[in-house]
């Protein structure tokens, strides 16, 4: 849990430190790559870590991922240039992505089906808390200790996590002569990198075209691989097909809400960064509560009804934002909507992952878990990138507005970001630009609900008890 929190926190904690980092190291043109490097590489490492864990066991892969993450943290703290910092963040990301998928996989091994739902809710809360407290922690650490310490502070927590994992997790893994599909892993990594960069690259359609070509080549290679890094046979099963589609759509709507609701609160209503965080904080409350309830109801109702109810709630919550969030709206509108969105996720996302983990054995659970996380992360990254481009085009008529929006995203707040006279113009432009963004988010949530209608009917008795991990 601590390892997952470190990895999740690393996505957000850097945001408030970046103005200071740029002031020390320069390289403002490379600003976005400090974030992009971590997100892109962590996405690539998720399925690779899952496959390695199915071959060699969870503990060695998790410990290796922690070592990479901590090495990247140490290197980032020592950075003397933006280029070096970006490289260190990429190393962090490779370890961090594997840590995330391993954390969920280990929970799938050591907990019963009912306990998994509750623990997945806790993981959801971890991610929500990371999004809320990350910028606050980053600001406090930079102010009192300096920006290098936002990376150094990972070291004691990482060492503690490694010690706990070593002493508390025991495995009996049947090792078999298998090698990682290096060609498939390289093609998958290149496809993901190009797709995510292309989504953030505006009109660079050739990047997306190249990503599509590499994706087709990846499928061709994986169909012929003895040990594919991403098993297409596994993903072709009805449950996994639906789960990955849901993961992409849920990830898209979730990450878009977490990105654009705070921007609306700050840029349109003039709220502070703290108020922007408060607008999405109820999600971190609704998610674990609903997950705990779902864990108790799975035995009586099964998976499918809970997934459908959860997706309906998320769709209605997203629709309420599109309908009722406007410049004169009550500040409780986004809070209530995010709370119900979290409740929906507590049912839909949690139960889906529990169903996936329960449908496979120990030797496939790592890849199955990582696959659902991979598509959720890709969906979120692509959605935020494309919707950000949609918003940028709405603001492109006035370059000064795009500049002011960048300052808002860095956490300056409406008053701190704007010169006199710009405030009303930016507020009006953002309100107009974000309206279609929220309608797209609602459409994504509605599409997830439509896909959820085809969720297969599963029996709890069908869960395979091959997990051989124990906790003492």
Q: How many domains, the chain?
A: 1
Q: Does any domain span residue 213?
A: no
- For helices 423-452 and 362-395, give the axis angle rounded to 10 degrees: 150
Confidence check: pLDDT of 203 > 70: no
Higher-pLDDT residue of 229 and 405 is: 229
Confidence check: pLDDT of 85 > 70: yes
Return d(Cα 350, Cα 363) in angstroms, integer: 21
Q: Does any domain span residue 192?
A: no
Other beta carbons within 10 angstroms of residue 156's beta carbon come to 10
> Per-residue pLDDT tens for 347-391?
998 889 889 888 888 778 888 888 888 898 888 888 887 888 788
Return d(Cα 213, Cα 173) in angstroms, integer: 37
Confidence check: pLDDT of 307 > 90: yes
The predicted model gives 298-324 an average pLDDT of: 92
According to the model, what pLDDT value does residue 91 have? 94
H, E, C per residue of 248-309: HHHHHHHHHHHHHHHHHHHHCCCCCHHHHHHHHHHHHHHHHHHHHHHHHHHHHHCHHHHHHH
3-class SS at 196?
helix
Q: Does any domain span residue 451?
A: yes
Residue 174 has φ and ψ, to the nearest 5°, of: -80, 95
Cβ atoms of 176 and 51 within 8 Å: the answer is no
Question: What's the CATH code of the domain at 89?
Answer: 1.20.1250.20
The predicted model gives 447-454 an average pLDDT of: 96
According to the model, what pLDDT value does residue 2 have? 65
According to the model, what pLDDT value does residue 158 have? 85
Q: Does any domain span residue 220?
A: no
Q: Which two tokens stand for residue 117?
A: 């739902």
Q: Which two tokens stand for residue 466?
A: 């091959």
Give, in order, the Cα–Cα distances in Å from 201 to each of 151, 213, 309, 437.
28, 18, 36, 18
According to the model, what pLDDT value does residue 65 have? 92
Return d(Cα 227, Cα 181) in angstroms, integer: 6
Q: Please provide the DSSP assignment of 139-151 as one string.
A: HHHHHHT-TTHHH
Q: Does any domain span residue 218?
A: no
Return d(Cα 339, Cα 57) in angstroms, integer: 37
Return d(Cα 63, Cα 165) in angstroms, integer: 8
Q: Does any domain span residue 208?
A: no
pLDDT confidence band for 400 (50 / 70 / 90): low
Cβ atoms of 305 and 355 within 8 Å: the answer is no
Q: Does any domain span residue 285?
A: yes
Parent domain of 89: 2-180+227-471
Lowest mean pLDDT among 309-318, 363-372, 434-443: 363-372
The pTM (predicted TM-score) of the whole model is 0.79
pLDDT confidence band for 436 (50 / 70 / 90): very high
Side-chain-side CA neighbours of 86 within 13 Å: the count stands at 17
Cβ atoms of 283 and 335 within 8 Å: the answer is no
According to the model, what pLDDT value does residue 253 have? 93
H or E stretch including 169?
Answer: strand 169-171
> Per-residue pLDDT tens for 204-238?
678 888 989 999 999 999 888 877 888 888 888 99
Q: Does any domain span residue 186?
A: no
């Amino acid at each position: 849990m601590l390892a997952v929190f470190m990895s999740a926190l690393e996505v957000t904690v850097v945001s408030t430190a970046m103005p200071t980092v740029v002031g020390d190291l320069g390289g403002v043109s490379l600003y976005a790559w400090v974030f992009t490097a971590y997100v892109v590489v962590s996405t690539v490492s998720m399925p690779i870590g899952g496959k390695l864990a199915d071959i060699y066991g969870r503990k060695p892969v998790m410990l290796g991922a922690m070592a990479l993450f901590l090495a990247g943290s140490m290197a980032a703290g020592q950075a003397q240039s933006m280029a070096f910092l970006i490289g260190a963040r990429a190393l962090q990301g490779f370890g961090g992505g594997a840590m995330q998928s391993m954390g969920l996989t280990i929970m799938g091994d050591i907990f019963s089906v009912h306990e998994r739902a509750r623990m997945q809710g806790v993981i959801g809360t971890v991610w929500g808390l990371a999004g809320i407290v990350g910028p606050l922690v980053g600001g406090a650490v930079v102010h009192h200790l300096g920006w290098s310490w936002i990376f150094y502070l990972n070291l004691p927590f990482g060492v503690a996590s490694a010690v706990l994992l070593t002493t508390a997790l025991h495995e009996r893994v049947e090792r078999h002569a298998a090698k990682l599909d290096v060609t498939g892993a390289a093609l998958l990594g290149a496809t993901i990198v190009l797709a995510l960069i292309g989504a953030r690259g505006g009109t660079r359609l050739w990047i997306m075209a190249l990503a599509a070509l590499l994706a087709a080549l990846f499928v061709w290679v994986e169909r012929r691989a003895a040990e594919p890094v991403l098993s297409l046979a596994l993903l072709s099963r009805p449950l996994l097909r639906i789960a990955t589609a849901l993961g992409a759509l849920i990830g898209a709507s979730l990450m878009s809400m977490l990105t654009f609701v705070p921007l609306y609160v700050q840029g349109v209503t003039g709220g502070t960064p703290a108020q922007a965080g408060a607008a999405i904080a109820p999600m971190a409350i609704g998610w674990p509560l609903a997950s705990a309830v779902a864990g108790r109801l799975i035995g009586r109702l099964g998976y499918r009804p809970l997934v459908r109810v959860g997706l309906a709630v998320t769709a209605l919550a997203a629709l309420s934002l599109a309908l009722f969030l406007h410049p004169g709206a009550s500040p409780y509108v986004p809070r209530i909507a995010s709370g119900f969105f979290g409740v929906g996720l507590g049912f839909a996302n949690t139960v889906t992952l529990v169903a996936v983990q329960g449908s496979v054995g120990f030797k496939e659970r790592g890849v199955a878990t990582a696959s659902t996380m991979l598509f959720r992360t890709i969906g979120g990254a692509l959605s935020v990138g494309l919707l950000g481009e949609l918003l940028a085009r709405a603001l492109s008529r006035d370059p000064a507005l795009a500049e002011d929006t960048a300052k808002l995203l860095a956490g300056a707040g409406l008053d701190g970001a704007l010169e006199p006279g710009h405030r009303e113009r930016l507020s009006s432009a953002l309100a107009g630009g974000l309206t279609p963004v929220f309608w797209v988010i609602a459409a994504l949530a509605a599409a997830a609900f439509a896909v959820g209608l085809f969720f297969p009917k599963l029996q709890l008795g069908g869960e395979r008890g091959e997990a051989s991990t124990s906790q003492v």
